[in-house]
Structure 1
């Protein structure tokens, strides 16, 4: 497990996943062994309050990354949020980690990235290839869908009585964001994580969107039904609701991929990593309805 001489780094630490990883990490090791990368000093203030070292750097600015990786032994590269620019940005990070002599680099990829039909998978595959050829001992955390990705549509669904999607009867093996963060901490701290290990991470229990929406209706005691749309029509609806083009396309494409089985996994690797059953989707729905 953790080594008292190791220095750990979490990139993208001000994001929702990154914050959870940092919080989990400082519960396992002294905060002074942990450094984080954020782009904006303001975003790092709450992380600094945890006692970790905040380093300012940007995936898109290679000149900022060498100092950010100085003295680091083991690092977690959380994938960039800038779809379309990820491959170059991730290579910048990998190159900086190599120059700094990082001894282990974990990366948050996508479930079954090597075979996934999702458009999102392309940049993840390219990043995995860059990792593999870097010479740095590494592990790939192929994260499945967060339950929160589906929960965020609940308020609109309750308002209109319909939950829209394009997944048909495709099944989603989701887990909570906190589950994936806990797995990242486990791999980052495990000296026996192995070089080139690939973890297919997904929830223990899957659901179709009709099943998910039925659970929303049951818990909320409000009439809401699932309405399945063709991918193009679903994207159009999302655009009409004010979502940016790239985000609407991502959501529609992901549902279409789920219809083909892209977001289903029954390997149980996530639960094995965190040593417990993954968070049931019903529990995440309940939390959202309370909030």
Structure 2
């Protein structure tokens, strides 16, 4: 049983491969699909098959997926370009005869109003139309989304956003990787299944600010801003305008509850509680 992971040198991809190996999948049965094989030298040293293919290169993807039984399609990171990239992977998987595709989507994708959800909605539809056996891993928010500027947040004493009093059911990136590995190694037929994945903690942004304060030892407060103002702050911090718009929109979506995932799918898959925010923050420090 050969299992491939796209974006294998990215954060989620690498963690998923680690989780597969912990679940006793032989390294020789794991295929790491990467753009830059030099970044996968450590994986190759573990015995993982490293195959080179860019999401934009349909022919290379088909070659990389030859002989693969199950594929974890980690959604592309280039917002606005993901649909054509995902089409290439889906077409390549179909041509290569992949038996099951697991796709990392977004919570409640068909009804999700976030800008970030649009490409996921299209990809889910394309998978349904492809005839490929597939399973949807609708990943919730990563706690790591709040650690990119953790030191800066603590220094300024302000966590800015547009989330109002909405709640986020976040989890560690490693939790979602573990869930993906559980699905890919399951003896049960996963075709057609949909998993809504979210953590045990359902936190508001004021609670997030207090957690950052507790971990860093510096007073941090949450400052709720209009979406346009928050987007401007993100742009002034150096983010491209389209990325800033998507992130500000996601914060506004928190206020409506779209990232407050319930149901316990993540916990059932990984067989434990999700990683607490405090643990993720301390690891980031």
Paired residue for 1:7, among 2, 9, 14?
Answer: 2
- TM-score after normalising by structure 1: 0.95
Query: What is the CA RMSD across the aligned residues, in angstroms?
Result: 1.1
**Match of 2:11?**
16
Q: 1:276 aligns with which of 266, 272, 276?
A: 272
> In 1, distance between residues paired with 2:227 and 2:207?
20
Query: Could you give the per-residue CA deviations for residues 243-270 of structure 1, whole angstroms, max 9, x where no partner exists?
Result: 2223212221110011111100111110
Give the counterpart of 1:36 among 32, 35, 44: 32
Output the CA distance in 1 between the equivalents of 2:245 and 2:230: 9
1:132–1:196 Cα contact (<8 Å) kept: no
Equivalent residue, structure 2, for 1:211: 207
Is 1:255 the counterpart of 2:251? The answer is yes
1:3 corresponds to? none
| Shift of residue 194, structure 1, vs aligned partner | 2.5
Please say if residues 9 and 39 of structure 2, whose CA atoms lie closer than 8 Å, have aligned partners that are also in contact: yes
Distance in 2 between residues matched to 1:202 and 1:50, nearest whole Å: 31
Structure 1 Cα separation of the partners of residues 189 and 102 of structure 2: 10
Larger CA deviation: 184-193 vs 71-80: 184-193
Q: Which runs of 5+ in 1 are unaligned?
A: 1-5
Alignment of 1:26 onto 2:21: yes
Instruction: Map 1:19-168 onto structure 2 (within 5 A).
Output: 19-27=14-22, 28-168=24-164
Q: Deviations over 1:139-191 (max 9, x none)?
A: 00000000000222321111111111110101000000000000000001113
Q: CA deviation at 1:133?
A: 1.4
Q: Is the 8 A contact 1:153 1:163 kept in 2?
A: no
Residues 17-63 of structure 1: CA distance to partner in whole angstroms, max 9, x if unpaired?
00000111122211011111001122222221221010000111112
Q: Secondary structure at the match of 1:120?
A: helix
Contact 2:79 2:243 in 1 (8 A): no
Matched, 1:198 2:190: no
Relative to the length of structure 2, the TM-score reads 0.97
Question: Is residue 2:270 matched to residue 1:265?
Answer: no
Runs of 4+ in 1 over 6 A off after TM superposition: none
Range with bigger deviation, 147-156 or 275-284: 147-156
2:150 and 2:247 map into 1 onto residues whose CA distance is 15
How far off is 1:284 after superposition? 1.3
> For 1:113-162, what per-residue CA distance to the aligned partner results, in whole angstroms no more than 9, with x for missing partners?
11111101111011111111111111000000000002223211111111
Number of equivalent positions:
284
